[in-house]
Structure 1
Amino acid sequence: MIARIDQDLVALQLLRDAVASAKAAQEEFARFNQEQVDRVVQAAAEAAEAEAETLAREAVEETGFGVVEHKTMKNLFAARDVYDSIRDVKTVGIIREDPRRKVVEAADPYGVIAAVIPSTNPTSTAIFKCLIALKTRNAIVISPHPSASRCTIRAAEICAKAAYGAGAPRGLIGWVEKPTVELTEALMKHPDVQLILATGGAGLVRAAYSSGKPAYGVGPGNVPAYIEESADVPRAVQDIFTSKTFDNGTICASEQAVVVDRRIRDEVIREFRRHGAYMLSPEEKDAVAKVLFPSTRKLNSGIVGKSAVYIASQAGITVPPGTKLLIGEETRVAADVPFALEKLSPVLAFYTVENWEEGCRCCIDLLALGGRGHSLVIHSGNEEIIREFLLQKPVSRVLVNTPAALGAIGATTGLRPSMTLGCGSFGGNITSDNITVDHLMNIKRLAYGTKEVTIGEAEASDEELVKAVVQEVGPLVPHVNEHEISAVVREVMGRMRGASRA
């Protein structure tokens, strides 16, 4: 027991040391000019890109989640696409001027950022958060998921080594050596941490927002995909299949349920089967459901990021060897329906609706089961219906005719490339944006006076005016008493007001 307490104290001290080093390094880094900062960011991005496949392999080996090829693509997305999107952004000194409004904006870093990394995307998220922190002259201390600590720390080490080689002060990138829930909470509450970037489950997000610090907390998604009758069905199914099987469904923006108009239902099912999906019988669906959720609404972590064949085998089902996706038909949307929930695996629910209005309601009901604020994808050729989905859905991203997992992060859309997706007030988040460098800077504004404001003296009351006139006129007409003068003045004032109103 004493040895365990000693280990905990050592781990806590290492955490404190990492934050102290990060703080000292950041104070020096804050004085870097834009050229120096950009050189550091470029070096870290290039180093991460060079090790993308190695990091992907280490992540799969450590966590057992996903596919090496797909994790490599995610690492490259973080190192290339994210870097390309922030490379030319000004983050030092004066970053914008508006001559018309006479407003000048300057950027200041936050300081030390606490970054919590999920086990589903451990290396790509670490690369992403390191790059946006460096670009904004912040320090970062990473808290990995306990089941992905080695690969996450390895990604941070690669970025750190390259950054230091390019002139960044040592200690700018730190990490929790042996992460636990307690250490993660200690990091988030540390007095020298100024901002939290938390990507993970709902409990983690709540902890981030209750830490007393500014926080970008991003939790789970439960993304529905609606295929409307005017859609290009082969393309829609191809996009959903690609997205849902990408890295075995570990991206939170991947589709969890497909909602299909009845007129195209059979065609959609044929296309899914052609791509390698297996339609579960009612009995098989129930067996898979018990594997996915052994207890109510508690996802079995042992199937996260596993293949469709593996999940089927755990349910005692034999499927063709090339099966990539398991699909179960559903008629109800409720918390006690396992297929209606987020599954983080290549398993998809299938709902049939009569028209787009019913499809709209079905998607809203699905989002209410843990996906509010995140994302939704619609496959349609009807622009009016597409716009209605934007207006009616409580989500931050409505993706159109694209794979949801890749579209939401900005890989196949014009959204800002990001591995951390805000869910807005719908999902209890502070922002609905794709998190990027814009969210890691304090913006100071210099505002010149552009308007003249005349503040006149308060108008005197009627009685004060009457009294003033009596005092002025009285000595000039001694034969007229004070009361008579007052009466005349009041009459004149009344006539003047009447003329003004007319």
Structure 2
Amino acid sequence: MENFDYDLQSVQETRNLARQAKLAQAELAKFSCEQIDKIIRNMVKAAEENAVSLAKMAVEETGFGKVEDKAFKNRFASSELYEFIQAMPTIGVIREDKVNKVMEIAEPVGLLMGIVPSTNPTSTAIYKSIIALKSRNGIVFSPHPSALKCTYQAAKLMHDAAVAAGAPANIIGCISKPSMDATNELMKCNEVAMIIATGGSAMVKAAYSAGKPALGVGPGNVPAFIERTANVPKAVSNIIASKTFDNGTICASEQSVIVEECIRDQVMEEFKRQGGYFMTPAETAQVSKKLFIKGHAMNAKMVGRSAQVIAETAGISIPAGTKVLLGEQQGVGEEYPLSYEKLTTVLAFYTVKDWQEACDLSIRLLNNGGVGHSISIHTENHDLVMKFSEKPVFRILVNTSSSQGGVGASTGLSPAFTLGCGTWGGSATSDNVTPMHLINIKRVAYGIKDFTSNTSSTYSACSAQSSNPSNGISEDQIQNLVEEVLTLLKKRGDY
């Protein structure tokens, strides 16, 4: 009975949040650029001031990651994001083509539903709140149950900061009694116009099945190829920095390291020197058993954990100061568990003969749960970069940490915590999601071609001939007439 009452309360709360946020969004839709910018700046200020406290809440509640890295993500999702989107046109006339006389006018989508993962529970809420309001949308969050308190607090801080700067009350909401019924209700309710889903594959798939527009992201299973011309110490440093950042909880983090035979020993020595531990086959098997449940589903108790915690749980001994665990793999698929995504401090390690074999292996790894997302390559050979740009991913990250590169922290990509995987990964977009994905665009188009006179002359020529069938028109005359009509159509651009 208690569960039944909870579910009823959960669904009713969700309905109320959606209705209130929809009314608030109708007001926000009338705001000017100056009003919206004032609101966003206050939200950024609140996120900065609470970056550390929110990070502590997230680590305490979920057990995932590191406080200092989550604090960085909170700041990145606010200050860095604001720098990128501040001048982004999302209100009124956003583009005018004076030659073709077309004006583009931005309109908000409406009310958004934001699905938030447990791995990035506060930074994702901050990021989605800011891009939603920048485009004059409202948003209601469905938090992961294991990260409810910190996500709710992040959403409340964003709401209160927005309202203090002039936004209508209830413009940002968050479910406080999460349940599957509540999430389904929010996905399908009439008030919600679009879903932004960041989370597990099942949740993203459900979002796309809700019968309305959705921006969802698939999992990452990022291969990192260290090619023979690479600066090996720098490549290894980048990979370790990326994989240990928040203990590997970003979906753009490297999952497998691929090296050529000719530099294998050098790469292994460099990993050992910088804090990598190469597990024996027996140790790899022990760790794999702890990492996964039900095949290759990640064990939540191992997500975002340090190498020491994982080793201790698996019953293996590792040197003090170890940062990442590496296990050699000979293939991809069910028999090779480390070939799947591992949102923690464990990497698969592969050796190949040359870059062609690295290409083939990368594709197999991507098709094993990361197609469309990202690939990392360390090389000084630009031609090789272009070869890898042909792979089925939408982020080809070169000579950088994949985690930071994918979200736009160490690259020129858009700062984002929702990374689209395109149609290859089952996503509606291949971009890092920005406010520009959350607007509708009207187009005002003036006539620039005299369509009526062309139509009349064409019709008159055809009519004159067809109305007098007894004239005895020759085949040559018919052919000439057809050619005249086709020429006219080509001039108008209709053929």
Normalising to structure 2: TM-score of the pair? Answer: 0.93
Q: CA RMSD in A?
A: 1.8
Q: Output the amino acid matched with 1:409.
A: V
1:220-239 to 2 correspondences below 5 Å: 220-239=219-238
- Cα contact 2:241–2:401 (8 A) shared by 1: yes
SS in 1 for 2:270: helix
- Cα contact 1:117–1:144 (8 A) shared by 2: yes
1:201-350 to 2 correspondences below 5 Å: 201-350=200-349
1:6-45 to 2 correspondences below 5 Å: 6-45=5-44
Q: Residue deviations 1:323-352, cap 9 Å, x none?
A: 110001111112331110001000000000
SS in 2 for 1:96: strand
Query: Percent sequence identity over matched residues?
Result: 50
Q: Residue deviations 1:381-426, cap 9 Å, x none?
A: 11111001102x1101111111000001000111111000000011
Which residue of structure 2 lines up, in the alignment, with residue 130 of structure 1? 129
Which residue of structure 1 lines up, in the alignment, with residue 493 of structure 2? none
- Cα contact 2:7–2:179 (8 A) shared by 1: no
- Cα contact 2:11–2:181 (8 A) shared by 1: no
Normalising to structure 1: TM-score of the pair? Answer: 0.92
- Cα contact 1:335–1:369 (8 A) shared by 2: no
Which residue of structure 2 lines up, in the alignment, with residue 171 of structure 1? 170
Which residue of structure 1 lines up, in the alignment, with residue 427 of structure 2? 429
Q: Output the amino acid matched with 1:254.
A: S
Between the aligned partners of 1:186 and 1:36, the Cα distance in structure 2 is 32
- Cα contact 1:205–1:219 (8 A) shared by 2: yes
SS in 2 for 1:61: helix
Which residue of structure 2 lines up, in the alignment, with residue 101 of structure 1? 100
Shift of 1:299: 1.5
Between the aligned partners of 2:298 and 2:480, the Cα distance in structure 1 is 81
For structure 2, the residue ranges without an aligned partner over 5 or more in a row are 485-495
SS in 1 for 2:82: helix
Which residue of structure 2 lines up, in the alignment, with residue 418 of structure 1? 416
Structure 1 residues 360 and 7: CA distance shift in structure 2, 3 A:
same
Shift of 1:59: 0.3
SS in 2 for 1:101: coil
Which residue of structure 2 lines up, in the alignment, with residue 60 of structure 1? 59
Between the aligned partners of 2:476 and 2:93, the Cα distance in structure 1 is 61
Between the aligned partners of 1:462 and 1:93, the Cα distance in structure 2 is 51
Which residue of structure 2 lines up, in the alignment, with residue 459 of structure 1? 462
Q: Residue deviations 1:150-195, cap 9 Å, x none?
A: 0001111111111111010000000100212221121111111000
Shift of 1:321: 2.2
Between the aligned partners of 1:491 and 1:449, the Cα distance in structure 2 is 38
Q: Any runs of at least 4 consecutive aligned residues in structure 1 with deviations exceeding 4 A, and if so which?
A: 460-466, 489-497
Structure 1 residues 142 and 494: CA distance shift in structure 2, 3 A:
closer
SS in 1 for 2:395: strand
Between the aligned partners of 2:272 and 2:172, the Cα distance in structure 1 is 47
Between the aligned partners of 2:106 and 2:236, the Cα distance in structure 1 is 45
Shift of 1:459: 2.0
- Cα contact 1:326–1:346 (8 A) shared by 2: yes
- Cα contact 1:231–1:379 (8 A) shared by 2: yes
- Cα contact 2:330–2:336 (8 A) shared by 1: no
- Cα contact 1:296–1:336 (8 A) shared by 2: no
Between the aligned partners of 2:107 and 2:408, the Cα distance in structure 1 is 26
Shift of 1:95: 1.4
Between the aligned partners of 1:247 and 1:314, the Cα distance in structure 2 is 19
Structure of greater Rg: 1
- Cα contact 2:242–2:404 (8 A) shared by 1: yes
Structure 1 residues 164 and 357: CA distance shift in structure 2, 3 A:
same
More off after superposition, 448-457 vs 35-44: 448-457
For structure 1, the residue ranges without an aligned partner over 5 or more in a row are 469-485
Q: Output the amino acid matched with 2:428.
A: I
Between the aligned partners of 2:140 and 2:294, the Cα distance in structure 1 is 35
